[in-house]
Homo-oligomer: A and B are copies of this chain.
């Protein structure tokens, strides 16, 4: 398959790795002429890390399937699937999708990586709007495989299925979002948990580190290989409905205290920031991000071997 990467920043680079790792030919373009060369160098670095972690075998073969292009016309030429990863600005999405729709034959799928703009906001007036949709990754997608797939109301169901198949074919874990919604599913779940987490610290029940331990040594263990529904399905003798009926009252009682829609206050932000900085000084953030990526690689290798 021929894949076009439009926008070669961090997200575009990671997508190039995912598709090339999956055996596809990948062409890459960016509005900034110097960006593609820089992206190629960063991709080599990332692929070398993946190789070192044992997550890919043929690094040279992967790299050889990725090439840069000097124009949008060139990158779109012959593409079966286009993954757009420009900055999160509505006007840029409108402009690039209009140009891509004019250049691509009707069977080419046009997908956007946006995490915040629904497809209906920038595809409504396009002749080919039925082949446009969102395929939202989590960074970096070669380590965090979930992809949220969400069409506009006019996106063809076949296009959604084809995108799902493309993603599954390269080892990603696609999820169909049936209707447009703010933040898709992942960030809504994260937001619900974070809101309660901020509140518990604000009201003095627990500290930042205690809360993190509760998740990383408790809740997060199960959630890293089951989801929340499978977790509760296995936590009552007769399965999910049994669990829901046993614990509905308890969770409802808790919920009445979890309804705040206030923004996170400056006071709690400062409290949490101070607690995090006492654990991790600001000058060590970058080093710790590299640690995180090594841990994600080791976890990916572990999950692969445990399946």
Using a CB–CB distance below 8 Å, which chain A residues touch chain B? 116, 138, 143-146, 148, 173-179, 181-183, 185-197, 200, 204-230, 232-234, 237-241, 244-245, 248-264, 269-270, 272-273, 276-277, 280, 282, 285, 288-289, 292, 295-296, 298-300, 302, 306
Contacts and interface: CB of A to CB of B under 8 A. Distances in A.
Contacts of A144: 217-218, 221-222
- Among all A-B residue pairs, the 9 with the closest Cβ atoms: A212-B227, A220-B223, A224-B224, A146-B218, A173-B217, A241-B273, A192-B196, A175-B210, A146-B217
Nearest to A138: B218
Contacts of A217: 144-146, 173
Given A223-B215, A273-B241, A195 B234 contact: no
Given A191-B255, A219-B189, A258-B191, A228 B211 contact: yes
A130 B237 CA distance: 37
A26 B146 CA distance: 45
Of the listed residues A222, A224, A270, the one surrounded by the most CB atoms of chain B closer than 10 A to its CB is A224
Classify the secondary structure of A's interface with B.
helix
Contact of A276 (B222, B229, B282): B229
Contact of A206 (B178, B187, B251): B178
Given A144-B221, A306-B298, A190 B280 contact: no
A291 to B, nearest CB: 9
Given A221-B144, A230-B276, A264 B248 contact: yes
Given A200-B185, A214-B185, A259-B261, A219 B223 contact: yes
A226 B292 contact: yes
B296 A221 contact: yes
Contacts of A145: 217-218
A186 B216 CA distance: 11
Contacts of A187: 250-251, 254
B200 A188 contact: yes
A41 to B, nearest CB: 21
A295 B3 CA distance: 36
Contacts of A138: 218
A225 B295 contact: yes
Nearest to A232: B194
Contacts of A116: 250
A245 to B, nearest CB: 7
Nearest to A200: B185
Most buried by B among A177, A197, A227, A285: A227
